[in-house]
Amino acid sequence: MALGYRESQVKAAVAELVADHPDDGADLVAKIPGLEVAATIVRYHHERWDGQGYPDGLEGDAIPLAARVFAVADALDALTTDRPYRPASSFGDARHEVLRGAGSQFDPVVVAAYRQIPDRRFEALREGEIVLHVPDRDARQRDLVARRQIADQSDDLLAARAHLRQQLAAAAGLG
């Protein structure tokens, strides 16, 4: 091993980096406007249904549902993508691994939902034959601005209505 490091020291350092990545990723995502809620998914996506995951050892329904769904998607992606230490698995082989993890690593209800999606659909997504619609950031921003304007106008209308009621009550000698 170069630089005088023992293999066990390197493995321990790598294991620490791997264990820290959900917190590090969540911290990073939380700083992106509009993605604060997604930070929870990132933080808990390595928790396991049986409580043997990390960073907090959450179990079952204590793990946020979105993180349970993302855990299956993350595993599917990890298994079907080439890695420096192994080639990608087929979607069929990856499906077998995910199904084996139902009830231990993964929420069995999420795995049951995953079972309903044919491998061909995942292959088509990977090949770009299916494009998922993701609203662009500008459209989301315009929508937020429009909602704020509507809310402000609603507040103004309510205030004007209350003022009008006061004027009518005063004119009628009730106020």
Considering the domain architecture, whether residues 172 and 87 belong to the same structural domain is answered as no
Which has the closest alpha carbon to 54: 38, 63, 174, 32? Answer: 63
Average pLDDT rounded to a whole number, residues 27-50:
92
pLDDT one-digit tens code per residue, 66-91: 999 999 999 999 999 998 889 999 99
DSSP summary character for residue 60: G
Average pLDDT rounded to a whole number, residues 146-154:
70
Under the banding of pLDDT at 50, 70 and 90, the label for residue 2 is very low
State the pLDDT at residue 16: 78
Considering the domain architecture, whether residues 101 and 145 belong to the same structural domain is answered as no
Please identify, among 110, 127, 144, the residue that sits at the C-terminal boundary of a domain.
Answer: 127
Total domains in the fold of the chain: 2
Domain that holds residue 78: 2-127
Considering the domain architecture, whether residues 12 and 63 belong to the same structural domain is answered as yes
Give the helix/strand (H/E) hosting 15: helix 7-30
Average pLDDT rounded to a whole number, residues 39-53:
96
Considering the domain architecture, whether residues 121 and 138 belong to the same structural domain is answered as no
